[in-house]
Structure 1
Amino acid sequence: MKRNLSILLLLSGFFLVSSCKKFLEEQSQTDIIPRSASALNELLLGAAYVNNAGPGYDRSLRLLDDDVAQGAFYKYGNNMYFAYTWQPEGLGKDGLTAGSDSWTVLYPRILTCNMVLDYATKVTGTTAEIENVVGQACLLRAFYYFKLVNLYAKPYSDKLSDPSKDPGVPLMLSSGLSFEGKPRNTVAEVYKQIVEDLDRGIEFLERNGKNNNVYRINHIAGYLLSSRVQLQLGNWQKVIDATTNVLNRKSDLMDLATWGAVNQNGKPIIGPVNQESLWVHSNPDEVIFDGNTQEGYSYILSDDLISNFETGDLRSSIYIKNKRSIKRPTVGYIAKVGQAFRVSEALLNRAEAYAQLNKLGQTGNAQLALDDLNTLRKKRFTPATYHDLVSLGADDLLQKCYDEKRREFFDEENHRWFDLRRHGMPSFTHSYYESDVQVLKYVLLDHDPGYVLQIPKVALDKNAKLTRNPDPARRIGH
């Protein structure tokens, strides 16, 4: 079964199969069609989760936002120049662009989720077993579509956009559908499906997924993902409801004041040993700021980010060393995951939602936002330097929420890039070393087309109905 499934995923990764279901049915009827909930569970683990057994989403995505800068190590920085400088076309014969690998990694996993959902009514197993795999498949599919629509489409809440008309990404909801000839659904349609998958997945895993280990997505992680989605949609009360559901079930926070000596390999911030972790996932190869590879050696954390940390904030030493993230184990050690859903995000998402309601005139929410911010900050500062944030103006309070999230979640899951898009797509600059004496400035303009990544050439070539995103002119440094 594993051999045949690997062939299936290889083919689907290049979009050369017209139907997963058809492909399965052409194989031996005794050893390829999933017959039990247990078989579906194995299929999910082997082919729907992104883990260290397969390719990660895309290293180039780490270079898009204002948390990263190129160090003075120009000779190592050319391989991902196209992503760091937001070029509309990449280098090489395939014309790679930032995010190219995400498309080809995530759609095969979506097709695997579809396969599980299609076969769930046909397999043997208890109701609990079947609902567990269905719930996981729904939440994984929602997560992958959330990533895709935030990479390849305009933000839902942008004032200059119309989600009911703006092209999103193609919705593949059955393993029996061909990708060829499938047009892009609208941004609104994609988000509607994401919300439906979240609701169903959370319901099923709330009943029958509570014993899933930290490597499997669960109902609490589902609530946290729901809060991310509702932030993008601007549904502040739904953000509050979702994050409160997280915090009512798990509210553990790591206390950096008692964290002890930094032990990146024995006690990493991102990993199953962190008490905040709700779900750990993805491939550690996504991490490029480790300083142990040539490409990783060229890029560091930006001065703009580092200057954002206050005196006494322990994250500036426990999360960072030599302007590099040290949230994960270093190269040479066995690292099973690259990303994590953490409890602290629930506090920050809820704080922002309270602050947004406060700005709309519901002033009773201001203190609730401060309470959530202070709950987290108490666990991030030295006792001698910690102080509560107190009453702030509406705009200042909202900015405090944005800044706190940036300090907590830099170098994780494209939070900063997605938030920059959601916060109005502001202009910022990347400096690029052409040589040890020449530094060029590349500018991402306000509402720049570069905030929407180009769909990869391999996908456009396979599907004539898959329309391109607008191409800005090739960027020239100044």
Structure 2
Amino acid sequence: MNKKIIHIASFTAILSLFSCSDYLKEDSADLLIPESVTDFVPLLLGEGYPDRFGSQISFVNLMTDDVEMGPLYYTTEQKNDKYCTTWREGIDAKAGYGEAAFVWQSDYSENIKDGFWSGRYSNILGCNTIINALPEMTYAETEEGLYRALAAQAYALRAYHYFCLINTYALPYSTANLDKPGVVIKTSPEIQIAPQPRATIREVYALINDDIKKAQEYMAGAVFQCEKYTGRKPEITSAAIYFLAARIALFQQDWDGVISAAEKFLAKNSSIHDLNNEDATLFGYVSSFEKTGFCANNQQLDEVVFGFGRSDGGYDYLAPNSPVLMYYEYGFHTSWTGENSLIGLYNEDDLRLQAYFQRRYNKSGNTFNPTYYAGQYHPHKYDQRAGTNYSSQAWRTPELYLNLAEAYTQKASGVSNDAIGLLNQLRVKKYKSGSPDAEKQVSDFATKDDLIQFIWQERRRELCFEEIMRFWDMRRQGMPSVEHQLFSSPKEYSVYRLKTGSPNYVLPIPEDETSYNNAIENNQREVIASSSQGTLE
């Protein structure tokens, strides 16, 4: 048997989760040799799953139109609240905390640590170890279902990690871009230090498509242990594999592929959580000993398919959580000014405006008897203090409905009634009961393109600040022009504009790869200078 040698250090996190020593076979004081399927299960859990995500890539939110910089208050009450607007001269907000990404600098490596590339490849290495070991992996006859589930998860996770990489460090999928540089393909279970060039976008998507296909093939007869959990979804399941397959197809404009995978998913899970069933007075609260606030990424919710990245920051750089910017009069926050702001997309009947954003902050510092004040629209999809049922990231059923609605619309010759029906199934659960704005009609859209634009807006409303979906969507939706105002004081700002189709929509490959891989070609980016200055009244 060709045994794979794994260093004990890579299992440190796993051992804290699994007390049964039978999972691992010791060969020496320094090495472990997995053999059976039960040996490999904790390896995939600890090495193949994305235990960190937001903290590695959350700076990308600053590059989108969902974030702006400016005064942190938007009401008179907030402007006069010293807890929200104290100006502290002792800390320089211009020290580069996120500014490089906000103005799309061609090289931001001195200001921002990009851990996304290395994080995904670290997870890919874990998946490769499982996949490479499958032909010789041992298991009892009663464990075949576990074996097939392990294989399905490994292939699905590797597809996901490469999906993340290709949609962040390469040009968007299109016929014209297929033979342009993608990312490095690594399928070996061993750490490779020899120089490796980038594969083409075509080649990377071929691997992704093959992996998600194999994941579905292994699903037959698979027994997913995580499906036995009550109220927790920390692992890939059969439903999650169909969910991912639909997303992968969407980003390749494979509308038939989206429909096929989505229909299989809906046969397993069609639940959309009804916000009308929640106590709206708890929307916007961070959970404490006194109150339990609502969070969309709670794994106990029926619409959550897969949760990951527990205790991992997802909103770094945004006030008020930023330790640098939270007491300033200005900083980075959810966009609420201008015609294209995120907050401007919601109307007063849309319950997501309260449920998905934090607006009450504990200014007393007392956990047991906190005093709250009204804050800004800070993203509030998860709660790190609420225990193991919460994840910083989650795949949720509403995305599947939106993917399917877009596929139906793209295939239709006119305004798709099927797409509108899917939108209405989602919106009636997210709007106040009886709202006349919840359900749309065919007559509300003059053309097919109007409906597509509305679906894209619905994606912003529903999926805001989840993974880096807005950045990925902007790339596949034509890389539109964006304008940002960078403040140097509470009143003065400079204007930066990202032009349509800018190469800065593709992130530079981090130095931790280019420093040793001299065969890799980095992405070209342009210098974006300030185009004008401005002053607030």
TM-score, length-scaled by structure 1: 0.87
Superposed displacement of residue 145, structure 1: 0.3
CA contact (8 A) 2:48 2:123 kept: yes
Deviations 1:153-198 (A, max 9, x none): 00012x7x321x1100011012146242111000011111101111
In the other structure, the counterpart of 1:374 is 424
Superposed displacement of residue 394, structure 1: 0.8
Question: Quick one: structure 1 residues 39 and 467, their matched pair in 2 at CA, closer, same or farther if it must change by over 3 Å?
Answer: same
Matched residues in 1 for 2:119 and 2:151: separation? 21
- The answer as to 2:89 corresponding to 1:86 is no
CA contact (8 A) 2:152 2:216 kept: yes
In the other structure, the counterpart of 2:300 is 273
Question: Quick one: structure 1 residues 27 and 72, their matched pair in 2 at CA, closer, same or farther if it must change by over 3 Å?
Answer: farther
Identify unmatched segments of 5+ residues in structure 2.
Answer: 14-25, 73-90, 228-232, 360-375, 533-537
In the other structure, the counterpart of 1:231 is 250
In the other structure, the counterpart of 2:313 is 285
Question: Quick one: structure 1 residues 438 and 162, their matched pair in 2 at CA, closer, same or farther if it must change by over 3 Å?
Answer: same
CA contact (8 A) 1:264 1:327 kept: no
Superposed displacement of residue 47, structure 1: 1.5
In the other structure, the counterpart of 1:249 is 268
Superposed displacement of residue 315, structure 1: 0.6
Equivalent of 2:481 in 418, 421, 427: 427
In the other structure, the counterpart of 1:119 is 133
Higher mean Cα deviation, 82-91 or 400-409?
82-91
Deviations 1:366-415 (A, max 9, x none): 10000000110110111232442111221111111111111000110111
Matched residues in 2 for 1:378 and 1:357: separation? 25
Partner secondary structure for residue 212 of structure 1: helix
**Aligned pairs, number:** 450
Letter in 2 for 1:146: F
Matched residues in 1 for 2:221 and 2:325: separation? 43
Identify unmatched segments of 5+ residues in structure 1.
Answer: 11-25
- The answer as to 2:383 corresponding to 1:383 is no
Matched residues in 2 for 1:124 and 1:91: separation? 45
Matched residues in 2 for 1:466 and 1:236: separation? 33
Question: Quick one: structure 1 residues 140 and 368, their matched pair in 2 at CA, closer, same or farther if it must change by over 3 Å?
Answer: same
Question: Quick one: structure 1 residues 386 and 473, their matched pair in 2 at CA, closer, same or farther if it must change by over 3 Å?
Answer: same
In the other structure, the counterpart of 1:15 is none
Matched residues in 1 for 2:525 and 2:93: separation? 27
Matched residues in 2 for 1:9 and 1:463: separation? 28
Letter in 2 for 1:87: Q
Question: Quick one: structure 1 residues 121 and 31, their matched pair in 2 at CA, closer, same or farther if it must change by over 3 Å?
Answer: farther
Partner secondary structure for residue 323 of structure 1: strand
Partner secondary structure for residue 430 of structure 2: coil
CA contact (8 A) 2:6 2:31 kept: no
Superposed displacement of residue 476, structure 1: 3.6
Higher mean Cα deviation, 140-149 or 167-176?
167-176
Partner secondary structure for residue 348 of structure 1: helix
Deviations 1:125-148 (A, max 9, x none): 232222111111111100000000
Deviations 1:68-90 (A, max 9, x none): 11233694463211111111112
In the other structure, the counterpart of 2:377 is 323
Equivalent of 1:302 in 335, 350, 353: 335
Alignment of 1:180-199 (within 5 A): 180-199=194-213
Matched residues in 2 for 1:40 and 1:277: separation? 26
Equivalent of 2:177 in 162, 165, 187: 162
- Structure 1's consecutive aligned runs of 4 or more residues displaced over 4 angstroms after TM superposition are 7-10, 332-336
Superposed displacement of residue 243, structure 1: 1.2
CA contact (8 A) 1:75 1:435 kept: no
CA contact (8 A) 2:132 2:188 kept: yes
Higher mean Cα deviation, 221-230 or 292-301?
292-301
Matched residues in 2 for 1:296 and 1:191: separation? 40
Alignment of 1:29-68 (within 5 A): 32-51=32-51, 56-68=55-67
Matched residues in 2 for 1:30 and 1:79: separation? 40
Partner secondary structure for residue 352 of structure 1: helix
Equivalent of 2:162 in 125, 130, 145: 145
Partner secondary structure for residue 233 of structure 1: coil
Give the % identical residues: 28
Partner secondary structure for residue 439 of structure 1: strand
- The answer as to 2:459 corresponding to 1:405 is yes
Equivalent of 2:148 in 125, 131, 134: 131
Question: Quick one: structure 1 residues 45 and 211, their matched pair in 2 at CA, closer, same or farther if it must change by over 3 Å?
Answer: closer
Matched residues in 1 for 2:156 and 2:49: separation? 11
Matched residues in 1 for 2:10 and 2:45: separation? 16
Letter in 1 for 2:151: V
Question: Quick one: structure 1 residues 407 and 296, their matched pair in 2 at CA, closer, same or farther if it must change by over 3 Å?
Answer: farther
Matched residues in 1 for 2:430 and 2:234: separation? 26
Letter in 1 for 2:513: A
Superposed displacement of residue 199, structure 1: 1.1
Partner secondary structure for residue 120 of structure 1: helix
Question: Quick one: structure 1 residues 389 and 61, their matched pair in 2 at CA, closer, same or farther if it must change by over 3 Å?
Answer: same
Question: Quick one: structure 1 residues 70 and 207, their matched pair in 2 at CA, closer, same or farther if it must change by over 3 Å?
Answer: farther
Partner secondary structure for residue 467 of structure 2: coil
Aligned CA RMSD, in angstroms, stands at: 2.7
Equivalent of 1:348 in 385, 397, 402: 402
Question: Quick one: structure 1 residues 184 and 9, their matched pair in 2 at CA, closer, same or farther if it must change by over 3 Å?
Answer: farther
Deviations 1:224-247 (A, max 9, x none): 111111111111111111111111
Letter in 1 for 2:505: Y
Deviations 1:23-47 (A, max 9, x none): xxx9749951112111211011111
Letter in 1 for 2:301: N
Letter in 2 for 1:121: P
CA contact (8 A) 1:51 1:337 kept: no
Matched residues in 2 for 1:71 and 1:211: separation? 48
Matched residues in 2 for 1:220 and 1:414: separation? 22
Question: Quick one: structure 1 residues 340 and 152, their matched pair in 2 at CA, closer, same or farther if it must change by over 3 Å?
Answer: same
- The answer as to 2:501 corresponding to 1:447 is yes
Question: Quick one: structure 1 residues 5 and 441, their matched pair in 2 at CA, closer, same or farther if it must change by over 3 Å?
Answer: farther
Question: Quick one: structure 1 residues 296 and 417, their matched pair in 2 at CA, closer, same or farther if it must change by over 3 Å?
Answer: farther
